[in-house]
Amino acid sequence: MSQQGERPAAHEDDWWRRLYDETAADAGSTNAADSLDDRFDSASDAVGPVGRGGPGGDDGDSGTDAAVPDPRTPPAPPVRTRAPWEPPAEAERAPWEPPSGAAQPRDLAAPPAPASPLVEAPPPTPPPGAERPGTVDGPPPAPAAPPPVPAPPPPEHVPPLPRRPVAERAEEAPEEPAPAGATDSGSGAAPAGPAPAAPGPTSRPGLMYVGDRPPTYDAEPTALPATTPQELDGLVADTVLDGARYGTYTLRAASVRGDSARFRGEPRRDALLTVRFGAAENALVLVAVASGARAAEGAHLAAADACRWIGGAVGRSHARLAEDIRAGRRADLKSGLQRLTDRSYGRLRARAAELGLEPHDYTAGLRCLLLSADPDCRTRVFFGVGGGGLFRLRDGVWRDLEPDVPASGAVTGEPVVGFGSASPESGPHGDRLTMDLGITTPPSPYIESPPPPPAEPFRFRASVARPGDTLLLCSTGLAEPLRGEPALADELAERWTPPEPPGLAAFLADTQLRVKGYADDRTSVGVWEA
């Protein structure tokens, strides 16, 4: 009997006798599977669908659902490791690797470039039925968004704009139309880059020559002049280019080897000197152009000597010359410059005697311009000896300013006693009888004989420039085609008529405008008046 007074329905030791009943028959062996694999499958079915016995397992048995966690305790976030084919997260990116999704500049449609090992690519899609190792539950988290790229600072004169992320600006920027026929090779869409800008108008046309036919020689240099180690000091370049701007004028100067000399490998016989003496308003600019004799062997050396010596003579007297130009003393300028020119040619003759050459074998034609740097002075002075040209372009029309020089032996004006007429005391009816005894009168020992004048007469001209004028001083290589080929004069007038003077490169191209039949060296000096 129990403490409550109830009697047990059965004996207290009945459960023990049923468990260890020795009279019960033995059950024996059974056909149920009891291997290690069977027990693993059973345990896998009990804990979740990941094992072999879960849904999609190898044996095809359906597993049981996973146990629901206690709602009072939030589940721990799944721990996920990166698969080999997945890109690294933003935190794992190396410093030299670009961020994922960074915008890349594009200009024109082109085939896709091969992927670089340093640029992140989207992960490949795994085959169906394969599980990504390391995942526990749910889809993989989305990749982190790239950090915003800061915009470049605006220029100083533009107020700064607020910086925004690249993705936000890309959505607001309108897409520009792509050129016809240009599509992306991958998706067929037109590239978002800006359309190429249309070429602007060129400053000079592509005209290389004027006339009916092109010149015989090539337009570019072919052969270099031959020289020796002892003659390196006498080398001259194929092309010389210079320029300046003072007061109200702009100066351009160029000297180019001719087509014939370029083909034959001969040196440039023309020499060019541009130099300034003094400073500020008292400065004086000298431009000298010299052309050596055509058949002389050292013509280029004679031309260089002529420019150097006239430059030295003008430089020593530049203060007086600048004052005479500003004061307009034409007579003083002419006499002084002629004296300096005669002395320079006297040195050329002395140099020819030192080299054992005839004076005509070591000489050069010389033409010079003197320009004052004073903005209030518009007097332009020209002087020189020998061939060449002096032209002025005004209102689109060329005018030849070459000073008129009487031909050799020509006599003009009324007869003068002692020059062109006989003395009134001579002759059979004269008052004085003379007899020629054939005795040569020796020169006076007290008077030094002046040096003989150059073979060519001295040329001088002083003129006042007007706004918009263009003054051109050139050697024979450009003066002859300018006088003989009207097409060249018209073309240069069209190019040089605008008020803005050409640049150095454009002026050089204009100087090299070729004409068939004229292949000598070309040296030109242009002065544009503001």
Report the alpha-carbon distance of residue 249 to residue 32 in Å, rounded. Answer: 117
Tokens describing residue 280: 């500020």
Residues 6+ apart with CB under 8 A from 59: 41, 52, 53
Hey, which of 29-43, 65-79, 258-272 has the most confident mean pLDDT? 258-272
Q: Please state the domain count of the chain.
A: 1
Long-range contacts of 19-24 (CB under 8 A, 24+ apart): none
Q: If we measure between CA atoms, which residue out of 184, 167, 34 comes closest to residue 106?
A: 184
Report the alpha-carbon distance of residue 332 to residue 480 in Å, rounded. Answer: 32
Which of 196-205, 217-226, 273-282 is the least confident region?
Answer: 196-205
What residues form DSSP beta bridges with 183? none
Tokens describing residue 128: 């169906």
pLDDT > 90? residue 469: yes
522 contacts 255 by C-beta, under 8 angstroms: yes
Flag whether 284 is in a domain: yes
Supply the range of the domain harboring residue 464. 237-402+452-529
pLDDT in tens, 175-196: 444 444 444 444 444 444 444 4
- What pLDDT does 177 receive? 44
The H or E element that residue 482 is part of is helix 476-484
pLDDT in tens, 350-369: 999 999 999 889 999 999 99
Which of 24-28, 220-224, 230-234, 507-511 is the least confident region?
Answer: 24-28
**pLDDT > 70: percent of the chain:** 54
458 contacts 341 by C-beta, under 8 angstroms: yes
pLDDT > 70? residue 446: no
Q: Centre a 10 Å sphere on the Cβ of residue 262 and count the other Cβ atoms it contains.
A: 23
CA geometry: angle at 521 spanning 518 and 525, to 5°? 110
Flag whether 146 is in a domain: no
Give the Å distances, CA to CA, from 219 to 90, 207, 226, 254, 519: 62, 12, 20, 16, 10
pLDDT in tens, 60-113: 444 444 455 555 555 666 666 666 666 655 555 666 666 655 445 444 444 455
- What pLDDT does 48 receive? 63
CA geometry: angle at 432 spanning 429 and 435, to 5°? 100
pLDDT > 50? residue 501: yes
Reported as a pLDDT band with limits 50, 70 and 90, residue 214 is confident
288 contacts 272 by C-beta, under 8 angstroms: yes
Report the alpha-carbon distance of residue 80 to residue 220 in Å, rounded. Answer: 72
Flag whether 192 is in a domain: no
Tokens describing residue 121: 């690519």
- 94 vs 326: which has the higher pLDDT: 326
Flag whether 75 is in a domain: no
Over residues 223-241, mean pLDDT:
89
Hey, which of 1-5, 25-29, 108-112, 476-480 has the most confident mean pLDDT? 476-480
Q: If we measure between CA atoms, which residue out of 473, 420, 65, 441 comes closest to residue 254?
A: 473
- What pLDDT does 168 receive? 43
- What pLDDT does 452 receive? 55
- 109 vs 496: which has the higher pLDDT: 496
Flag whether 356 is in a domain: yes
Quote the mean pLDDT of the chain.
73
Over residues 156-163, mean pLDDT:
44
Flag whether 347 is in a domain: yes
Flag whether 468 is in a domain: yes
pLDDT > 50? residue 455: yes
**CATH number of the CATH domain containing 342:** 3.60.40.10
When computed from its CA atoms, the radius of gyration of the chain, rounded to whole angstroms, is 51
Q: If we measure between CA atoms, which residue out of 349, 489, 296, 480 comes closest to residue 402?
A: 480
pLDDT > 70? residue 293: yes
pLDDT > 70? residue 205: no
484 contacts 407 by C-beta, under 8 angstroms: no
DSSP state letter for 105: -
Residues 6+ apart with CB under 8 A from 258: 268, 477, 519, 520, 521, 522
- What pLDDT does 184 receive? 42
Residue 501, phi then psi, degrees to nearest 5: -70, 155
pLDDT in tens, 337-355: 999 999 999 999 999 999 9
Over residues 325-341, mean pLDDT:
94
369 contacts 462 by C-beta, under 8 angstroms: no
- What pLDDT does 212 receive? 75
pLDDT > 70? residue 263: yes
Flag whether 245 is in a domain: yes
Give the Å distances, CA to CA, from 207 to 178, 259, 458, 485, 512: 35, 17, 37, 16, 10
